Amino acid sequence: MARGIDGAAHEGAMPTGTAAVLGGGVDDVYPPEHGELYARIAEHGCVVSESPVGHRAQARDFPRRNRLISGLSRAVVVVEAELRSGSLITARLAAEQGREVLAVPGSPLDPRARGTNDLIRQGAAVCEGPDDVLRALSGVRTLAERQGELFDGPSADPALDQAVESARRRIAELLSPTPTSRDELARLAGVPPPVAFAALVELSLAGRARLLPGGLACSGEG
């Protein structure tokens, strides 16, 4: 339900159904100017959140929310993204969850296209229109997904937030230019894998970590 492309996608999908995955509780309308859009999605589609009713979204809630977006999807299309963007986290999660990942190419001079162009270099399918999405989905037969820490992520909980904050400091000290598995970082930091992953997402958004394919991570300078 974000501004820009997300809002346009909801509008286009409204006649056949659309789902909004919120960072806050299901009653937290964000951005506030999308109040009317929220009301129509609630009436004709679906509003989803793992946060409790009344919880107001904070910055750290949105990256965690992205794993639900990719998990509910058969494919993820990234239209615009800078190199450090929550959309790229969604794309990486989608790839790990076995979803199709597509990216719209853009001018190398446009910073908003750097993330999508990088996804294509890493193997994402090129998306130039609806036909490309339909071709990607033609081979998708099942939504069966493996079990693992990716689907047991943290919810809005003060104690958990404190644990993530503490883990973030420990994991930041453990990161190096050499890629290390998230499970190993969790073991070394002495925290559960979901807490370690939440901490890594926040470090990634701050430019202090890089999330790599195969469940690996390294320092932001790596």
- What structural domains and CATH numbers belong to the chain? 5-137 (3.40.50.450), 152-219 (1.10.10.10)
Strand order across the 209-212 sheet? 180-181, 216-219, 209-212
Q: Which two tokens stand for residue 185?
A: 């970082």
Tens digits of residue pLDDT in 103-157: 999 999 999 999 999 999 888 899 999 999 988 887 655 444 444 443 344 444 5
Question: Does the model's pTM come out above 0.85?
Answer: no
What per-residue confidence (pLDDT) applies to 87? 87
What per-residue confidence (pLDDT) applies to 21? 96
What per-residue confidence (pLDDT) applies to 114? 93
The verdict on whether omega for the bond into residue 63 sits within 30 degrees of 0, i.e. cis, is no
| Helices 86-96 & 193-205 angle (0-180, nearest 10) | 140
Tell me how far apart the alpha carbons of residues 18 and 21 are, in angstroms, rounded to a whole number: 10
User: CB neighbours of 59 closer than 8 A, spacing ≥ 6?
Assistant: 205
Q: For the chain, list residues with pLDDT below 50.
A: 142-156, 222
What per-residue confidence (pLDDT) applies to 180? 92
What per-residue confidence (pLDDT) applies to 185? 92
DSSP secondary structure code for residue 68 in this structure: H
